[in-house]
């Protein structure tokens, strides 16, 4: 099974697709990305990485009594996960990510825990302390997942997919503008779009239902967020570049619950070059 997992992650990708040899120690970025885009597909990568070595956590203790001890099972989980990451890194089939290492290890230990719970129930010889020991990890993971779902459902509005996962490095990057930026924000409406069909021609029609007004950041505050790198850049730039803000307007963007929230759209020109320009969106709600 482990050979199959290695083949799928390292050899199962097209030869014409290669990844830069990078090491990512940012564990939270994976969860931020999943949170901001909140959908099954956004959490799929996490679920797959946890589930990939889950069967191995069941098979190894059945293969040898050595792996029935938690200490050796944990060491084996880390080594097995690390080997996959190293192989992907050296063969340029993926970057080495600490998040993947933790998820693979977690999945293997979950498999180990579930196996021991089943064995305890079948044998009925172990103490309650042993049962609690093996129940701890599955219960913790279940509560964390449940907490994420409850937290999301309790939010009035959805998450904004365009919010930045990490800050953009603005070292030696200059941002300037000659337009007037107001330092006072105001209120803008949030809408809920509903698609209905006209009774006559059966054509779909989008209707906007006003939910309520929300306070938004001022243009000057959003400009400061740009200077601090608190945005997800549409186009790449490097140290020494100059970003010129030529104009801005307020638009709307659908969040993960289907609400249309106000956003700022800044028109950005790179190095005073009219050819290199783009529209940079950034969340407006305070």
Q: Where is the domain boundary, 154, 184, 211?
A: 154
Would residue 134 count as lying in a domain? yes
Whether 139 is in a domain gets the answer: yes
Do 185 and 146 share a structural domain? no
**10 and 149 both lie in a single domain:** yes
Q: Can you give the pLDDT at residue 269?
A: 92
Co-location of 134 and 210 in the same domain: no
Does 31 share its domain with 136?
Answer: yes
In a domain, 169, yes or no: no
Structural domain span for residue 33: 2-154
Instruction: Give the residue from 140, 76, 124 showing the smallest Cα distance to 104.
Output: 76
Q: Residue 252 sits in a domain of what CATH number?
A: 2.40.128
Q: Has residue 168 been placed in a domain?
A: no
Are 27 and 146 in the same domain? yes
- 223, 284 in Cβ contact below 8 A? no
What are the angstrom distances between the C-alpha of 156 and each of 27, 194, 249, 276?
27, 17, 25, 38
Decide if 242 contacts 176 (C-beta within 8 A).
yes
Q: Are 38 and 151 spatial neighbours (Cβ–Cβ below 8 Å)?
A: no
Give domain status of residue 233, yes or no: yes
Residue 167 within a domain: no
How many residues does this entry show for the chain?
Answer: 286
pTM of the prediction?
0.82
Put residue 207 in one of left, alpha, beta given phi > 0 → left and psi -120 to 50 → alpha: beta
Quickly list DSSP for 217-271.
Answer: --HHHHHHHHHTT-S--SS---TT-EEEEEEEEEEEEE-TTSEEEEEEEEEEEET
Q: Is the dihedral of CA 226, 229, 232, 235 positive or negative?
A: positive
Given a cut of 90, whether residue 246 has pLDDT beyond it is yes
Residues 85 and 139 occupy one common structural domain = yes
Angle at 229 between CA 226 and CA 235, to 5 degrees: 80
Pick from 112, 121, 123, 223: nearest CA to 175: 223
Query: Could you give the 3-state DSSP secondary structure of residue 195?
Result: strand
Verify that 35 and 87 share a domain, yes or no: yes
Q: Do residues 179 and 272 both lie within one domain?
A: yes
161, part of any domain: no
Number of CB atoms found within 10 A of residue 53's CB:
26
Q: Are residues 84 and 148 located together in one domain of the fold? A: yes
Q: Which of 154, 185, 204 is the last residue of a domain?
A: 154
Same domain, residue pair 191 and 275:
yes
Structural domains counted in the chain: 2
Please check whether residues 144 and 246 belong to one and the same domain: no
Q: pLDDT digit string (tens) for 158-206?
A: 999 999 998 998 989 999 999 999 988 899 999 998 777 655 656 677 7
**178 shares its domain with 150:** no
Task: For residue 183, give both structure tokens.
Answer: 């330092």
Per-residue pLDDT tens for 5-62? 777 676 656 555 555 567 778 888 899 999 999 988 889 989 999 999 999 999 999 9
Give 53-108 pLDDT, tens digit per residue: 999 999 999 988 888 899 999 999 999 999 988 888 887 766 788 899 999 999 99
For residue 5, give the H/E element and its range: helix 2-6
Domain end (from 103, 119, 154): 154
Gap between the Cα atoms of 89 and 23, Å rounded: 8
Domain-located, residue 159: no
């Amino acid at each position: 099974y482990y050979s199959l997992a290695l083949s799928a992650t390292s050899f199962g990708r097209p030869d014409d697709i290669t990844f830069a040899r990078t090491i990512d120690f940012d564990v939270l970025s994976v969860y931020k990305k999943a949170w901001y885009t909140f959908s099954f597909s956004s959490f799929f990568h996490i679920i797959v990485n946890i589930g990939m070595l889950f069967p191995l956590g069941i098979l190894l203790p059945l293969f040898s009594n050595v792996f029935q001890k938690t200490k050796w099972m944990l060491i084996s989980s880390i080594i097995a996960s690390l080997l996959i990451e190293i192989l992907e890194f050296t063969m340029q089939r993926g970057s080495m990510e600490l998040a993947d290492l933790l998820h693979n290890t977690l999945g293997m230990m979950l498999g180990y825990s579930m196996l021991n719970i089943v064995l305890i129930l079948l044998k009925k010889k172990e103490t309650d302390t042993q049962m609690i020991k093996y129940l701890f990890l599955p219960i913790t993971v279940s509560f964390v997942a449940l907490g994420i779902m409850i937290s999301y459902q309790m939010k009035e509005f959805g998450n904004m997919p365009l919010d930045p996962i990490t800050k953009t490095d603005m070292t030696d990057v200059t941002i300037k503008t000659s337009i007037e930026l107001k330092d006072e924000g105001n209120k803008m409406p949030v809408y809920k779009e509903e698609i209905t069909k006209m009774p006559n021609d059966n054509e779909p029609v989008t209707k906007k239902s006003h939910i309520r007004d929300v306070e938004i950041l001022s243009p000057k505050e959003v400009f400061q967020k740009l200077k601090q790198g608190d945005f997800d850049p549409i186009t790449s730039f490097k140290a020494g570049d100059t970003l010129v803000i030529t104009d801005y307007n307020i638009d709307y963007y659908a969040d993960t619950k289907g609400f249309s929230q106000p956003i700022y759209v800044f028109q950005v020109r790179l190095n005073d070059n009219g050819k290199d320009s783009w529209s940079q969106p950034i969340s407006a709600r305070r």
